[in-house]
Amino acid sequence: MEASVLYDRLDEELAVEDYADVDASANGLQVGSGAGAVDRVAVAVDGVQATFEAAADWDADAMVVHHGLSWGGIDRITGRTYDRVAALVENDIDLYAVHLPLDGHPQYGNAAGLADRLNLGNRAPFGRLGPVTVGQQGWLQQPASPAALHETLEDLLDHGGQGVRLLDFGPEEIESVAILTGSGTDWLDEAVAADVDAYVTGEPEGKLYHMAREAGVNVFLGGHYGTETFGVRALADLIAEWGPETAFLDEPTGL
Amino acid sequence: MEASVLYDRLDEELAVEDYADVDASANGLQVGSGAGAVDRVAVAVDGVQATFEAAADWDADAMVVHHGLSWGGIDRITGRTYDRVAALVENDIDLYAVHLPLDGHPQYGNAAGLADRLNLGNRAPFGRLGPVTVGQQGWLQQPASPAALHETLEDLLDHGGQGVRLLDFGPEEIESVAILTGSGTDWLDEAVAADVDAYVTGEPEGKLYHMAREAGVNVFLGGHYGTETFGVRALADLIAEWGPETAFLDEPTGL
Amino acid sequence: MEASVLYDRLDEELAVEDYADVDASANGLQVGSGAGAVDRVAVAVDGVQATFEAAADWDADAMVVHHGLSWGGIDRITGRTYDRVAALVENDIDLYAVHLPLDGHPQYGNAAGLADRLNLGNRAPFGRLGPVTVGQQGWLQQPASPAALHETLEDLLDHGGQGVRLLDFGPEEIESVAILTGSGTDWLDEAVAADVDAYVTGEPEGKLYHMAREAGVNVFLGGHYGTETFGVRALADLIAEWGPETAFLDEPTGL
Amino acid sequence: MEASVLYDRLDEELAVEDYADVDASANGLQVGSGAGAVDRVAVAVDGVQATFEAAADWDADAMVVHHGLSWGGIDRITGRTYDRVAALVENDIDLYAVHLPLDGHPQYGNAAGLADRLNLGNRAPFGRLGPVTVGQQGWLQQPASPAALHETLEDLLDHGGQGVRLLDFGPEEIESVAILTGSGTDWLDEAVAADVDAYVTGEPEGKLYHMAREAGVNVFLGGHYGTETFGVRALADLIAEWGPETAFLDEPTGL
Amino acid sequence: MEASVLYDRLDEELAVEDYADVDASANGLQVGSGAGAVDRVAVAVDGVQATFEAAADWDADAMVVHHGLSWGGIDRITGRTYDRVAALVENDIDLYAVHLPLDGHPQYGNAAGLADRLNLGNRAPFGRLGPVTVGQQGWLQQPASPAALHETLEDLLDHGGQGVRLLDFGPEEIESVAILTGSGTDWLDEAVAADVDAYVTGEPEGKLYHMAREAGVNVFLGGHYGTETFGVRALADLIAEWGPETAFLDEPTGL
Amino acid sequence: MEASVLYDRLDEELAVEDYADVDASANGLQVGSGAGAVDRVAVAVDGVQATFEAAADWDADAMVVHHGLSWGGIDRITGRTYDRVAALVENDIDLYAVHLPLDGHPQYGNAAGLADRLNLGNRAPFGRLGPVTVGQQGWLQQPASPAALHETLEDLLDHGGQGVRLLDFGPEEIESVAILTGSGTDWLDEAVAADVDAYVTGEPEGKLYHMAREAGVNVFLGGHYGTETFGVRALADLIAEWGPETAFLDEPTGL
């Protein structure tokens, strides 16, 4: 597959343009000539030394990641950034990054992937950010206790053995759930306003505790990595349909 | 003690003015008339409903907290903010907040308090933020293995039963340590440049994992709350010397 | 009436959302839980100690004011702001503020209210501010001399005995009039471009004198308060139609 | 006198450079070649058509004004601005403007001039604005009632027959006074914090009323023009000492 | 013709409003009363002393220029700006400036004028700048060598004897051409992405050399003035159709 | 020589820190690990494909350039930027860039280098930019005609056969000269205020013509490249004194 065709299709499928004003990440091709053919595409949550090396070992032509290298402009290609860029250049691997468009996508997104596995019904976009959304909400098929949903999430999320943290300040029966993967503190209030019984997010930011307690909502914290493998895995499947061979390079962090 | 005298002394002791340009928190008196006498001063890490109620139960005239209510301007005194402000107003409690000046203070600060308990020698300011610093660094009296320091920190930090997370990517013998309590991801690079063997901070932000791994440094994550009780406890002692009775209201969050 | 229903209806009737980008005032509920029922609603031009006390004496559940407490973010709830907020909290009164949307509203607005009393025909929006307008213009039913209109305005406006100031630099017969209540200096040029014979505004800002003189237009200065009682009085009538008892708390300032 | 020498001396005497970051006015020479000799210098509060014509009638070579034409950049030299600029160009009159440096100057300033006439003792700078001050404070030689000071101010200020407004919310005996000519609302709080008995300023801005009432301070409003003739008159005397003939062109506005 | 009618028509024909957010130039009437009748309109590329004097000699009532006097606000009407403004005021000449709207206009624009003379077919807008474009692209009727096109451009452009610079890094046969008059470095990448064989612009900015060389495109540099006479000459013809007599005042700079 | 030692010394010698707030260029090490030893250092004016390849051919370990790759943050390492970065990475060459500090340095700077060759006496810093300067001024040992200085400059400057452009609007005898290499339009006024007879700069920006003509000053335009080889050549000599072998890679552009 032509490299430029692959990147253009991803841009289009994921509506990358719509997120341009609200995402610090420079989404799209971040490193590489973007020329030539792409036969093997590795996907990973984080674009870092470990995944770049794994991609080189697997002989990838390109990588698609959720967290790339360019967040508001690279001032110097030195230190950690040099090592990462050099790993790509020396192994001739293009880096394509897609951040918020992959969090919020209703089909391929991180929140959508978890909502699918929770079998949430009556789904709706959640997590307003300017003109777009970066999460999902919906209803469990059967009400569940916080403890039961806790167990389910510990099974579903790639938490690297660190478990999922539950702040059980909400109702004892959970029917409605809002999901915002990664770092979701800023949307707890939207979840409360939407009157959900449970809010699932990733990073255990300190101020979440009293926000949840005062609002009376159950909060599940599955870790940034743990909640964000669904998107790139869905892209691996999508790209495979287009022709290239794909692989998911799993590097769980427990954070 | 005159309320206004108390607040002025705190402002001065903690060099609050020096942090005005770099701290989003409106440090100093945040809520209250600031008039009259103050006989009982409660301190807490977080200025929230739970600690305000505990302060009312204890009959406090004023509270001193690390995390207050005003971060860049309050647009509406509604919802969570209304409940918090009403708790203060109805119980006639002044709220004095001091954020970064308390993180970085070489004697009363959060990092200094932990450095004291670790008995670090050869201490120096760490954690540059514009014209000030918000952390501390120093040397253990005896080299320690990551596992041994891990155990020590689990004893010292108020982690609410959640433990301390260790990313053991650094040397097997730790001599030098940098501390930046609360949210320290942005200063990992300074710790690496300072060539320390271990970096102690609070919040387990997702991107820290690969930063630590690529830099080859040990990182200890004790939680935001867990690393930040030292400052307000030191202030309780200081204020008690000035006359008022003081109490530390502990509300560990495990985050 | 449910408090939340009242505030939502006011937001909608006054198109509060449309003014969000151009108004420094945080329009809508500014102080209060916004929960429970509202049976008695006081209205006032200014949200200040005097009107809050009058509202408490009258046993109000909520107040609707033109000038609230939040203009670009409250850094500290201390001093004057503490006293005002405490008066609301202690008397359990919600504060709903609506600034520019009430200046410009074609039916309930301050300018519209004065235009009604002047019986202006052929009315049109006046006072462009980005995508909205904050005033009104129209035609007298009968031409009037500046002196005659002066007398009429001194009767109509609540100037607290300070009178209305006339800068009679315009035509001796007035047919067309533009109105921008409160502080209108920035729109004198629009009035001149619209070729009106008289411009009615509130604050006697110093530079208006030569602007009017060089442009050859009659300017009437009725004071900020004097020109701005019409809006909240219209809201009192509107809210009364919805159920709650209402009262206008008049505190003329002569400024 | 060389024009360039005159302007350089004024820049220096009035410390114009020190106010560059806080004054919207482009202080210094605003219109003119700044070349040739200057024998006749007219001064006025406002740089407007009326004073430019009076200056031309008086055969001025240059004008020194408190309110010039350039406030943050002139986008178009059209309308009112064209007429004013053309009046200067056609009559070959340089325009030198000096705004805040003339409000705050301890000797030649507007506040200082009024303080002199009130015979205030124990004078100090008042009205902080970044690194500078724009007012004065001091003590009456004899305590005075608000009514007595009111009478004195009506005699001293050039209010164009409109009188001085007194908000008598303060003590019945006035000893200490703060003065900030022109538009002083933003410094009322500094006056209250300085615990003065009376605050004298110019513009009757609407929100001053309740601010003064709640703070319990006497406020005198003498009009923008009325409080600001002292500075340029002092400059006329100063320039006359340097050689050129000078004249004060009085155009009171009553605003 | 009424002056105001002329300026309104130009505003409309050139869609001046559409460029308001992206053009530093204050397009439209920049200097003058804009009143009275206009019988003689001079046009020029640059609004400077030389063209203002030529306009006065020719007895112009108004001038239309591509480069006016106001670029982001005039702080002081002194020095060079005073001399230019005085020349206009003293000769009673209005100055109307139109910058980017004249670069990009598909019929009257600078790029369009050159494209006409090159007889380019299949024309399309080029040179995106926010919501507008400021250039043109199209196809030669016959392929030409770089040398042949070089000769043609030296004939067509008003380069003041300085010639046109060719950077012949592109194909040896030129079919497609993009034009962005004046200063075009920022759009070279768009020309390359559009895969044109030649890019024609004005200013020989230093960094263009290696950009062109690495991209493999032919670049022609005809000078800022040399590429920008087409627009005002087209306006002269347009205005003449409306009634007034017109003249093009040529002051080639060779830059 | 240790790479890090070399870069630290250059930072220090050139006072790189002092220019941090005014230079868009990220001065210092821009690309590379900055580790290991540096035996061969190539210098060039422009950090581009051609000079990177020449450096690789010459077996350079590091390059020092005046124009680097990072100007306000690199959003994507793609296209031209990818090719340039890849050339450095693949050949293991560090890139050190130093822009304005090299323009203004009194000993090693571009302007100083030309001033040396013109043998200017009574030298002084020229070209204020915030707290620093980026040019030089001084006096010829013998007065020269514009034509004579023109000839001298055509000999001294590396103009790639394009010659030097003279705008001879100034005095016929030149004694004092100001130099600002590269792009100097913004400092012409400072040169005029300093009353120099000639101003030497690089880029022939269009608006310079009438600015020079109206100010009556001689302007010499030697091209961006032509005026800026002096600095890096001086650095090659300096670095050679420190140990490494050095080479100047000349790629004149005639622009």
To 10 degrees, the CA torsion angle through D239, D242, D246, D248?
20
pLDDT of amino acid A198: 98
Q: Which residue of B34, B75, B83 is in closest CB contact with C78?
A: B34
Contact present, D235 and D192 (Cβ < 8 Å): no
The per-residue pLDDT for E103 is 98
Q: Report the distance separating Cα E2 and Cα E36, nearest Å.
A: 6
Average pLDDT, chain A: 98
Q: What is the pLDDT of residue D226?
A: 98
User: What 3-state DSSP class applies to B102?
Assistant: helix
Are C73 and B78 inside 8 Å of each other by CB?
no
* Strands B218-221, B245-248: pairing kind: unpaired
Partners of A116 in the β-ladder: none
In angstroms, rounded to a whole number, what is the distance separating the alpha carbons of residues A211 and B126? 31
Q: In whole angstroms, how far apart are CA A167 and each of A117, A219, A225, B51, E202? A: 21, 5, 19, 18, 65
Residue in B with minimal Cα distance to A226: B206
pLDDT for residue B94: 98
D158 is in an annotated binding site: no
Range list of β-strands (E), chain B:
28-32, 40-46, 62-67, 77-78, 94-97, 121-129, 132-144, 165-168, 174-180, 198-201, 218-221, 245-248
pLDDT band, residue D219 (cuts 50/70/90): very high
The confidence score (pLDDT) of residue C240 equals 98
- The predicted pLDDT at position D10 comes to 98
CB A218, CB A174: distance < 8 Å: yes
Parse chain C into domains and list their residue ranges.
3-100+229-248, 103-221
Q: Which residues of C touch D (CB under 8 A)?
A: 46, 48-50, 67, 79-80, 83, 162, 165, 182-183, 189, 202-211, 213-215, 223-225, 251, 253-255
Within this chain, domains B3-99+229-248 and B103-221 share the same CATH topology: yes
Binding-site residue ranges of C for a divalent metal cation: 66-67, 103, 224, 228
Residue F15: the pLDDT is 98
Mutation target to probe the D interface, by most D beta carbons within 10 A, among E78, E91, E94, E99 is E78
The minimum CA-CA distance between C168 and chain B, rounded to whole Å, is 42
Q: Which residues of F touch A97 (CB under 8 A)?
A: none
Size of interface A-B (CB pairs under 8 A): 86
Contacts of D188 (CB under 8 A, 6+ apart): D199, D201, D208, D211, D212, D215, D217, D219
Mean pLDDT in residue range D75-80: 97
Contact check, Cβ <8 Å, E165/F48? no
Cβ <8 Å between D165 and C254? yes
How confident is the model at residue B21, as a pLDDT? 95
* Local structure of C61: helix, strand or coil: coil
Contact present, E and C (at least 3 Cβ pairs less than 8 Å): no
The partner residue sitting opposite B32, judged by closest CB among C30, C70, C78, is C78
Residues of chain C contacting B78 with CB distance shorter than 8 Å: 29-34
* Chain B residues close to A162, C-beta within 8 Å: 165
CB contact under 8 A, F206 and E209: no
Report pLDDT for B241. Answer: 98
Please report the pLDDT score of residue A117 as a whole number: 98
**Across residues D142-146, what is the average pLDDT?**
98
The string over A122-135, giving b where at least 16 C-beta atoms fall within 10 Å of a residue's C-beta and e elsewhere, is: eeebbbebeebbbb
Residues of chain E with pLDDT under 70: none
- Residue F216 burial (CB < 10 Å; 0-12/13-18/19+)? exposed
What residues of E are in contact with residue D83 (Cβ under 8 Å)?
Answer: 33
Residue F164 token pair: 């030097």
- Rounded Cα distance between F46 and E207, Å, is 9
Give the chain B residue whose CA is nearest to the CA of C31. Answer: B77
pLDDT of residue A8: 98
Contact of chains E and D by CB distance (3 or more pairs under 8 angstroms): yes
Assigned fold of B103-221: 3.40.1390
Q: What percent of chain A shows pLDDT beyond 70?
A: 100
**For range D76-99, the mean pLDDT:** 98
Q: Chain D: which residues have CB within 8 Å of chain C?
A: 46, 48-50, 67, 79-80, 83, 162, 165, 182-183, 189, 202-211, 213-215, 223-225, 251, 253-255
Binding-site residues of B, in ranges, read 66-67, 103, 224, 228
| DSSP-based three-state secondary structure for D138 | strand
pLDDT of residue E121: 97
Q: Taking CB atoms and an 8 Å cutoff, what residues of chain E touch F80?
A: 189, 211, 214-215
Nearest to F118 by CA among F147, F165, F155: F155
Sequence-distant (6+) residues with CB within 8 A of B64 are B10, B41, B42, B43, B44, B96, B97, B98, B232, B235, B236, B239
Asked if C74's CB is within 8 angstroms of B30's CB, the reply is no
From D214, D215, D255, residue closest to C206, measured CB to CB = D255
Averaged in consecutive runs of 10 residues, what is the pLDDT profile of chain B (255 residues)? 97 98 98 96 98 98 98 97 98 98 97 98 98 98 98 97 97 98 98 97 97 98 98 98 98 97
Q: Which residues of A touch B204 (CB under 8 A)?
A: 203-204, 255
**Which stretch of DSSP H or E encloses residue D44?**
strand D40-46
Q: Which residues of D touch C211 (CB under 8 A)?
A: 80
Second-level CATH architecture of C3-100+229-248: 3-Layer(aba) Sandwich (3.40)
> CB–CB of D135/D191 below 8 Å?
no
Mean pLDDT score, C100-118: 98
Residue F215's pLDDT is 97
Which residues of C make CB contacts under 8 Å with B?
26, 28-34, 69-70, 72-79, 82-83, 85-86, 89-90
Please state the rounded mean pLDDT for residues C115-137.
98
Give the residue from D207, D217, D228 with the most C CB atoms within 10 Å of its CB, the best one to mutate. Answer: D207
Residue D156 has what pLDDT? Answer: 98
How far is C1 from chain B, CA to nearest CA, in Å?
19
CATH homologous superfamily of E3-99+229-248: NIF3 (NGG1p interacting factor 3)-like (3.40.1390.30)
Output phi, psi for A104, to 5 deg.
-95, -5
CATH superfamily of A3-101+229-248: NIF3 (NGG1p interacting factor 3)-like (3.40.1390.30)
Q: Which of E33, E74, E76, E90 to mutate to test the interface with D (most CBs of D within 10 A)?
A: E76
Q: Across the interface, do C210 and D83 touch by the CB < 8 Å criterion?
A: no
The three-state DSSP-derived secondary structure of E20-87 is CCCCCECCEEEEECCCCECCEEEEEEECCHHHHHHHHHCCCCEEEEEECCCECCECCEEHHHHHHHHH
Determine the distance in angstroms separating the CA of A44 from the nearest CA of chain B, rounded to an integer: 13
Q: How far is F154 from chain E (nearest CA, A)?
A: 16
Q: Do chains B and F touch (3 or more CB pairs under 8 A)?
A: no
**Residue A201 has what pLDDT?**
98
Q: Which residue has the tokens 């928190």?
A: B25
Nearest-Cα residue of chain D relative to residue C227? D206
CB contact under 8 A, B31 and C75: no
* Of D68, D103, D109, D106, the residue nearest D85 (C-alpha): D68
Q: Which run of H or E residues covers position F136?
A: strand F132-144
- Chain C neighbours (≥3 Cβ pairs under 8 A) are B, D
Distance, in Å, from the CA atom of F60 to the CA atom of F54, rounded to the nearest integer, reads 9
**B14 alpha-carbon distance from chain centroid:** 13
* pLDDT category of residue A205 using cuts at 50, 70 and 90: very high
At E127 the three-state DSSP class reads strand
Which of F30, A226, F39 is closest to B204 using CA atoms?
A226
> Which residues of chain F does E162 touch, with a Cβ-Cβ cutoff of 8 Å?
165
List chains touching A (3+ CB pairs under 8 A).
B, F
